[in-house]
Amino acid sequence: MRVLHVDPERAWGGGEAQVMALLGELGRRGHVSRLAAHPGGPLARAAAAAAVPVVPLAVANHLDLAAALRLRRAIGDAEVVHFHTARAHALAPLCRRAGVRLVATRRMDYVPAGGPYVRFLYNRAVDAVVAISEGVREALVRVGVRRERIRVVPSGIDPAAWAAPPGAREALRAEWGMGGDVVLVAVLGALERRKGHAVLLEAAHRLAPAVLGLRYVFCGDGSEATALAEAAAPLGDVVRFAGFRRDAAACLAAADIVAQPSLREGLGVAALEAMAAGRPLVASRVGGLAEVVVHEETGLLVSPGNAGALATALGRLATDPALRARLGAAGPARVRARFTSAQMAEGTLACYRGES
């Protein structure tokens, strides 16, 4: 099958990591992919390094007709055009061609704004919609997207990639100045409001973390970095901001608990990565996170935005190493059973073929 993937975002995020995972899985199955991406952006560079042909596509906004026409000309002999972001999906109306199947992926769990035009984009402008979780599908249905057009294909990862590198735990904890008596809570992801980091800091204030041996490391960067650093200042060296890290597997190895206090979450790939690494989670019962994390089995779920409930869950894990071990041990099997990149590719291919 010949597929043109479209992701013109300028930055790198979880969605772009999923695009790269899909490109790899499709290539291993003998399918031919090209990628229309922002020229010089991180996704274009990653695809080129993986020997995936890149079509330069800069998109100014959702009404960029010139970009839509450039994309239409780039379709060539593709049998499927797969729009991976909202900015990409907005180009779909001008990409309709006989014999070409148009597919859009939706990763966000909030109801899209736009009323009739959004319904047109999802019900008419493309042939099928991939939702990465049931939560995302329900958000689309609430805006009027027909349920039968939506196929749920969860995001996936390669579980083997999250095994702890030899010596990583000790080395990174030493780098961060954390001894063996510290219970380290790691937070991996962009420092954006929707990720709920401020709620975690409020929970830390309530816990008196030094008494429980708790320390927190935020791995990531984003628009909330300055505000979060200011909010964390009264906690002193209990909180560390490590910035963007390329060694996420090592960060997970160093952690005792992984927190994902999101206010919104389409699925939560960071939760999958933590589970694959055998780490217990404290996560918000929101969007697809509640489909990934099984309460009392692979982690603890709390109400989004509820700092008190989050503090209680963290305190419980901090004082119960046996519970941490039990929850962490159950994670890898759940990821292998439902959330691998191979399963994600098979579900996507079924959508390409129009299978129900």
DSSP string, 118-180: HHHHHHTSSSEEEESSHHHHHHHHHHT--GGGEEE----B-GGGGSPPTTHHHHHHHHTT--T
**Does 343 have pLDDT greater than 80?**
yes
Structurally, at CATH architecture level, domain 2-156+340-353 sits in 3-Layer(aba) Sandwich (3.40)
Residue 325, C-beta contacts closer than 8 angstroms, at least 6 positions apart:
none
Q: Which residue from 301, 258, 303 is spatially nearest to 283, judged by alpha carbons? A: 301
Per-residue pLDDT tens digits for 311-324 = 999 999 999 999 99
pTM of the shown model: 0.92
Average pLDDT, the chain: 95
| 56-93 per-position pLDDT tens digit | 999 998 889 999 999 999 999 999 999 999 999 999 99
| Class of the CATH-defined domain 159-338 | alpha beta
| Structure confidence by residue, pLDDT tens digits, 259-317 | 999 999 999 999 999 999 999 999 999 999 999 999 999 999 999 999 999 999 999 99
Q: Let me know if the fold of 2-156+340-353 is the same as that of 159-338.
A: yes
Domain ranges of the chain: 2-156+340-353, 159-338
Burial class (CB in 10 A: 0-12, 13-18, 19+), 223: exposed
Classify burial at 1, counting beta carbons within 10 Å of its beta carbon; exposed 0-12, middle 13-18, buried 19 or more.
middle
